[in-house]
A and B are shown apart, each in its own frame.
Chain A
């Protein structure tokens, strides 16, 4: 229990950030019209792929001969970034279709 408490105290700023970001996330999305739910879902999904930053950091801090870690982390990076790139590209494709309409 003490360890958990210590962790919270050591990461005080992080915890504050966590709380405010939750509020921010709610606030940013709460007014979105249903028209945009589909693109927003896919856009938010692309952002959730940010987990690949962890994979990059992990790969960079691994000894060059630790192949198990390197392979696992690169696979993590690979599948995670399909989520990121695919997500952004497809969201863009959807939103461009909305745009095209407004100009004409």
Chain B
């Protein structure tokens, strides 16, 4: 009976994930996967086991509490904080794997007759990867949430320190396997926890989504490893599926930024951008509230390029309001979404969906680049690196080669920005100095507020 249920749940997990890779069926896919998960949990509760004791209360209470807590967190969380939440959840998954492998090893120390070196090695690997996923995810959370201290944890020669730590972990694991003394086990856990922090520390805050995706695949791998120990095929399958999916997703995200995974892990745009500071920059032109409103009003086609700045200022709803005002006056409005706009790929789509922006108005990079030629006005809100022409023109730029939105091909452009400061990549953007570009300074929310009331007066 439970075998049939496990089989069914494995099928549902795979099929659910499959459906989630298409926008039309994604919601159904998630529901199928969650049914699969519930079935798997149910089967694990009812399956007959050797020497089973009825500890059901120890299972039901945590399950009940966590489902209530999980539900509330999921309902309350702001969509802008989604990356933080995924990293916290992933950290909890890692912690779960750590506790589980620890308990299993602990049990084994008490019963050395059941000694099996392979099982111990698998458990230690699971312990190590789970620990890295746990502390790494917590640090990723701190970085995403903008805690200052989280950016200052990098040691000098961090990469060498990391290699030393890895060797220490391998060394203490070897000692533990040779002589199963629990103090070695504690040592492995502590070293792995620290390694998790060191692993994430040198990576820039804006690369956190890639890191979370990678750590997510780590958690998947630990689930698979523990699945081998418990002889549970669904765990193995689900874990590996997530491990593989997480890895591919990580690579896709890196590709969207035109960077290799190694480059992200080593620390990315370290200082390569500073050499171009003194480049000829020219003058910038500011645009007034009323000019901007008039220009929008008399355009035939406007494309909005939303970026992280829009999300931080929580200005999506205002953006939608302006879109509606313009559409009421026969202006065609579209949104061009760069693959890495927002805090993680696809994040901007979620944020705009939350503000009720019509899905059909969102266009992706390639289509947008075709449409700019026929666009009167491109409005860049809180985005910077994704519209930097240096990515095409300047081979010495750290952005060079990244696919970007060619906004300057439209008749004119307006950039909404808080100041002239550089984007995440630390480079100035020559777009700001182009003749057909105007700057509109201020916090995205306040700017759009002014613009919206100005538009309504026209």
A residues near B (Cβ < 8 Å) are 3-4, 6-7, 11, 14, 17-18, 21-26, 28-64, 68-70, 72-102, 104
A49 adjacent to B93 (CB under 8 Å): yes
A-B interface contact total, Cβ < 8 Å: 384
A89 nearest CB neighbor, chain B only: B74
Q: Given the known A-B contacts A32-B252, A81-B63, are A22 and B26 also in contact in the complex, defined by CB atoms under 8 Å?
A: no
Complex: A3 Cα to B120 Cα, angstroms? 12
Asked if B37 lies at the interface with its beta carbon under 8 angstroms from chain A, I say yes
- Contact of B89 with A59 in the complex, beta carbons under 8 Å: no
Q: Is the CB of B96 within 8 A of A49?
A: yes
Residue B323 at the chain A interface, CB threshold 8 Å: no
Q: Is the CB of B226 within 8 A of A63?
A: no
Contact between A54 and B358, CB atoms less than 8 A apart: no
Q: A48-B216, A61-B49 are in contact. Are A38 and B346 (CB under 8 A)?
A: yes
Inter-chain CA distance A104–B37, complex, in Å, is: 31
Check if B353 sits within 8 Å of A53, measured CB to CB.
Answer: no
Considering the chains assembled together, what is the distance between the CA atoms of A90 and B353 in angstroms? 14
Measured in the bound complex, the distance between the Cα atoms of B55 and A73 in whole Å is 11
The contact of B59 among A29, A56, A69, A104, by CB within 8 Å, is: A56
Docked-complex contact B89 and A82, CB < 8 angstroms? yes
**Do the beta carbons of A94 and B82 come within 8 Å of each other?**
yes
Instruction: Establish whether residues B235 and A24, one from each chain, have CB atoms under 8 Å apart when the complex forms.
Output: no
Asked if B107 is at the interface (CB within 8 A of a chain A CB), the reply is yes
Is B356's CB within 8 Å of the partner chain A? yes
Number of interface residues of B (CB under 8 A): 121
Q: A17-B233, A48-B216 are in contact. Are A56 and B45 (CB under 8 A)?
A: yes
| Secondary structure class of chain B's binding surface, majority of residues | helix
Question: Contacts A25-B243, A54-B100 hold; do A93 and B238 have CB atoms under 8 A apart?
Answer: no
Q: Is the CB of B106 within 8 A of A68?
A: yes
Complex Cα spacing A37 to B257, Å:
14
B89 touches A83 (CB 8 A): yes
Q: Which of A32, A40, A81 contacts B66 (CB 8 A)?
A: A81
In the assembled complex, the Cα of A52 lies from the Cα of B47 at a distance in Å of 15
- Bound complex: CA A91 to CA B89 (Å): 12
Q: Report chain B residues within 8 Å CB of A26.
A: 244-245, 247-248
Task: Please report whether the interface of chain A is mostly helix, strand, loop or mixed according to DSSP.
Answer: helix
Residues of B within 8 A of A95 (CB): 26-27, 30
Q: Mark B261-302, 1 if CB is under 8 A from A, else 0.
A: 000000000000000000000000000000000000000000
B47: A residues at CB distance < 8 A: 57
The 10 closest A-B pairs by CB, nearest first: A25-B244, A80-B96, A85-B70, A89-B74, A86-B70, A37-B345, A76-B99, A32-B21, A78-B62, A50-B238
Judge whether A62 and B53 touch: CB under 8 Å: yes
Contacts of A92 in B (CB 8 A): 27, 30-31, 34, 74
Known: A53-B235, A73-B58; 5 extra A-B contacts, CB below 8 A, are A3-B118, A29-B21, A38-B350, A58-B230, A98-B349
- Residue from the list B45, B93, B248 in contact with A25, Cβ < 8 A: B248
Known: A3-B116, A92-B31, A97-B350. A45 touches B245 (CB 8 A): no
Q: Does B65 contact A (CB under 8 A)?
A: yes
B145 proximal to A (CB < 8 A): no
Contact, CB under 8 Å: A63 / B21: no
Q: A70 → chain B, closest Cβ, in Å?
A: 5
Chain B residue nearest to A31 (CB atoms) is B21
Q: How far is the CA of A81 from the CA of B212 in the complex (A)?
A: 19
Which residue from chain B places its CB closest to the CB of A88 in the assembled complex? B34
Contact B26 A48 (CB under 8 A): no
Query: Which chain A residue shows the least CB distance to B242?
Result: A48
Contacts of B160 in A (CB 8 A): none
Taking CB atoms, residues of chain B closer than 8 Å to A18 are 224, 236, 240
B216 with A41: CB separation less than 8 A: yes
Query: Are A82 and B242 closer than 8 Å at their CB atoms?
Result: no
- Knowing A37-B253, A98-B23, A99-B27, say if A54 contacts B235 (CB, 8 Å): yes
Q: Given A42-B89, A61-B52, A88-B34: A93 and B74 within 8 A (CB)?
A: yes
A43→B22 CA distance, assembly (Å): 13
Contacts A72-B102, A85-B67: A54 and B86 contacting too (C-beta < 8 A)? no
21 contacts between A and B (CB under 8 A): A3-B118, A17-B233, A24-B244, A35-B337, A36-B23, A38-B346, A40-B245, A46-B33, A48-B246, A50-B223, A51-B239, A55-B99, A55-B100, A57-B230, A58-B100, A73-B58, A75-B99, A77-B59, A80-B95, A80-B100, A94-B79
CB of B446 within 8 A of chain A? no
Nearest chain-B residue to A52 (Cβ)? B96
Is B90 on the interface with A (CB-CB < 8 A)? yes
CA distance A81 to B41 in the complex (A): 10
Cβ-defined partner of B96 (8 Å) among A21, A29, A51, A87: A51
Q: Are B37 and A84 in contact (CB under 8 A)?
A: yes
Q: How far is the CA of A81 from the CA of B49 in the complex (A)?
A: 22
Contact B226 A54 (CB under 8 A): yes
Closest B residue to A10 by CB, please name it: B118
In whole angstroms, how far apart are the Cα atoms of A79 and B11 in the complex?
25
A79-B237 in contact (CB<8A): no
- Expressed in whole angstroms, the Cα–Cα distance for A37 and B97 within the complex equals 25
Which A residue sits closest to B89, measured CB to CB?
Answer: A83
A30 to B102, CA, bound (A): 34
